[in-house]
Amino acid sequence: MMQLPFQIDLSGQVAVVTGGSGIIGGMFCRALSKCGAKIAVLGRKAENGRPVVEDIQAEGGEAVTIAANVLDRESLEAAKQKILEKWGKINILVNCAGGAVKSAEIPQDQLADYEEGTLNFFTTDMENVRRELDLNLSGTMLPTQIFGECMINQENANIINISSMGAYGPLTRIPGYSGAKAAVSNFTEWAANYFARSGIRVNAIAPGFFQTTQNHNLHFNPDGTPTPRSQKIIDSTPMRKYGEPEDLIGALLFLVSPKGSSFVTGVVLPVDGGFHCYLGV
Ligand SMILES: NC(=O)c1ccc[n+]([C@@H]2O[C@H](COP(=O)([O-])OP(=O)(O)OC[C@H]3O[C@@H](n4cnc5c(N)ncnc54)[C@H](O)[C@@H]3O)[C@@H](O)[C@H]2O)c1
C-alpha cells in the first residue's frame, strides 16, 4: 500500500492524469486519490487503466478509466465530456503521457564509437524523431488546450507537466527526447505566464533517473545487470543512486497543494538526487 510523504486536502476536486496507466502516472493517480481527489485515468486503451482504478476503488476512492490519445483532439474532447458529465468540473491536469521513442535512439554516445552495420545519427529516420517530439510536446500542449479551458478560475486549478533531465542539457543517444522535454519545460514557463491571471498555475516536475519499464533497455542488460550507461548515471548523480518512483510524490503534492504552493507557478522542479546541477568535476 502506498504511503504519502505528507497529506494535502484535495477533497471534492477532480484530477485528470494522461498516461495514467503508466508507472509514474499510475502512482500519481493513487497519490492524488489518497488526498481525496476523484481521478480520471486516461490512457490509449481504457483497459490499461483498470488496475489503477481498481486499486483506488479498493481504498474507497473514486476513479474512472477513459481511452484518450494525447495526440487526438476528438478523443480528448470525448474524455472531457465524460468527466464533466460525471463530476461536473476539472481542477487538476497532470500531463504524464510521454517518453522516448525506441526507434529514435542513436546506439552510440559519439560517432567515433560507431560500429559498422548499426544505426548512427546520419541514418536516423526523422519520422521517428518527429513522433518523439510530437508525443512529448504536442501531447502536453493539446490536453492543456482541451482540459485547460474548463479549468479557468476553478478552485485550485493546477497543470503539472513532466519534463526530464534531458531538458537541462542533451542526454547522449536521445537527442529527440531531450529536445522534446526542453520544449516541455519551455512550454511550462510560457503557460504559467499565459494563465497566471486566469487562476491556473502551471508547473513541471523533472524526474532524474528511475528504474521503470520505459528506460529499462537503456539501463539494464537482458540478464538484469546494469549497462555502462547506468554506471555513468550513478556516477553523475551526487546521491549516487537511482530514484524510487515514490520519490516523485512529494513534488507532485507540493505543486498541487492549494496551501503549500499557491504563489508558485512556472517552476520546473528537478527530483534527481542532484543530477541536474553536477557537471562531474
Ligand atoms: N521513468 C523515468 O525515469 C522518467 C524520467 C524522466 C521523465 N519521465 C517521463 O515521465 C512520464 C511517464 O513515464 P513512465 O516512466 O511512467 O513511462 P510509462 O511508459 O510507464 O508511462 C507513459 C504512459 O504514457 C502513455 N502514452 C504513450 N503515448 C500515448 C498517447 N499517444 N496517448 C495517451 N497516452 C500515451 C503510455 O501508454 C503509458 O501509459 C513520461 O512523460 C516520461 O517521459 C520518466
Angle made by CA atoms 25, 212, 45, in degrees to the nearest 5: 45
49-66 pLDDT, tens per residue? Answer: 999 999 999 999 999 999
Do residues 95 and 132 lie in contact, with contact meaning Cβ atoms separated by under 8 Å?
Answer: no
> Which amino acid is located at 95 in the chain?
N
Instruction: Report strand pairing: 92-95 vs 38-43.
Output: unpaired
Do residues 185 and 206 lie in contact, with contact meaning Cβ atoms separated by under 8 Å?
Answer: yes
- Evaluated on CA atoms 34, 12, 21, 245, the torsion sign reads negative
Q: Is the CB of 207 under 6 A from ligand 1?
A: yes
14-208+243-269 under CATH 3.30.43.10, yes or no: no
**Ligand 1 centroid vs 170 CA: distance in angstroms?**
19
**Ligand 1 centroid vs 23 CA: distance in angstroms?**
7
**Ligand 1 centroid vs 105 CA: distance in angstroms?**
16
- The C-alpha cell 554506471 sits at 231
Judged against a pLDDT cut of 80, whether residue 195 lies above it is answered with yes
The pLDDT mean for the chain works out to 96
Q: Minimal CA–CA distance to 179: which of 131, 145, 212?
A: 131
Q: What would the grid cell of residue 177 be? A: 527526447
For 4, the enclosing helix (H) or strand (E) is none
- Evaluated on CA atoms 23, 5, 15, 207, the torsion sign reads negative
Three-state SS for 158? strand
218-262 pLDDT, tens per residue? Answer: 677 888 777 888 999 999 999 999 999 999 999 999 999 999 999
Q: Mind telling me the catalytic residues?
A: 177
Q: Is the CB of 22 under 6 A from ligand 1?
A: yes
165-170-172-176 Cα dihedral, nearest 10 degrees: 100
Do residues 185 and 232 lie in contact, with contact meaning Cβ atoms separated by under 8 Å?
Answer: no
Q: Is the CB of 99 under 6 A from ligand 1?
A: yes
The pLDDT of residue 218 is: 67
The pLDDT of residue 166 is: 98
Do residues 162 and 204 lie in contact, with contact meaning Cβ atoms separated by under 8 Å?
Answer: yes
For 95, the enclosing helix (H) or strand (E) is strand 92-95
Q: Is the CB of 26 under 6 A from ligand 1?
A: no
Instruction: Report strand pairing: 92-95 vs 157-162.
Output: parallel
For the CA of 209, the nearest atom of ligand 1: 3
User: Ligand 1 pocket: which of 29, 74, 136, 214 to mutate (most atoms <8 Å of CB)?
Assistant: 214
Q: Is the CB of 204 under 6 A from ligand 1?
A: no
Rounded to 5 degrees, φ, ψ at 40 are -100, 110
Judged against a pLDDT cut of 80, whether residue 217 lies above it is answered with no
Do residues 21 and 41 lie in contact, with contact meaning Cβ atoms separated by under 8 Å?
Answer: yes
- 213: pLDDT confidence band, cut at 50, 70 and 90? low
Judged against a pLDDT cut of 80, whether residue 212 lies above it is answered with no
77-106 pLDDT, tens per residue? Answer: 999 999 999 999 999 999 999 999 999 999
Q: Where does 152-277 have alpha helices with state H?
A: 175-195, 216-219, 228-235, 249-256
Residue 108 buriedness (CB in 10 A; 0-12 / 13-18 / 19+): middle
